[in-house]
Amino acid sequence: MAFDYDMDFDNIDFREQPELYRVGRGEQGVLMVEPYKSEILPHWRFKTPDIAKESSDKIYQMFLDYQEADDFVGMDMARKFLQMGYTRSRRYANYKGGKKYDKDGNINERDIDEEKAESARIFEEKWIIVRENEDYLKRKKDHQKKYG
């Protein structure tokens, strides 16, 4: 089932009502699902490889903590933040200022920033570990089967 952007996100605590959560595709809903957004977002940074390492390590540890707490929604949200760390770092690595398109809607020429590319690699490493985690995959399948 697709992520439902029409939900009343301001009034839903997904820890209390995990049955309302839909995995969606990729990073869908990453900045909408509480209380996870507020728990994870303060740790999400990628400006330099050192900052990306600290951030991805912290978010990965949060993934493990959610796993230990039997909190699939938290696990999936941590996965989304790791994925978003990769995709945003990659965007900034490829395009100065992260601007893929110019004011006329044309794609800007790539200008590779090696430091941001390293930040992307750091996040990608943790994202792969999480998305291939057998327990995560089982819980994801179970959640989707049970709730959509």
| 3-state secondary structure (DSSP) of residue 88 | helix
The answer to whether residue 30 is domain-embedded is: no
| Cα gap 92→90, rounded to integer Å | 5
Res. 2 pLDDT band, cuts 50 70 90: low
Q: What is the pLDDT of residues 85-99, one digit of tens each?
A: 999 999 999 998 888
The answer to whether residue 71 is domain-embedded is: yes
The answer to whether residue 75 is domain-embedded is: yes
Question: What is the number of other CB atoms lying within 10 angstroms of the CB of residue 76?
Answer: 28
Task: Please give the tally of structural domains in the chain.
Answer: 1
| Cα gap 141→132, rounded to integer Å | 13
The answer to whether residue 10 is domain-embedded is: no
The answer to whether residue 136 is domain-embedded is: yes
Q: What is the pLDDT of residues 8-20, one digit of tens each?
A: 898 999 999 999 9
Is residue 57's pLDDT more than 90?
A: yes
The answer to whether residue 29 is domain-embedded is: no
Share of the chain above pLDDT 70, in %: 99
Residue-range definition of the domain harbouring residue 76: 45-99+108-148
The answer to whether residue 39 is domain-embedded is: no
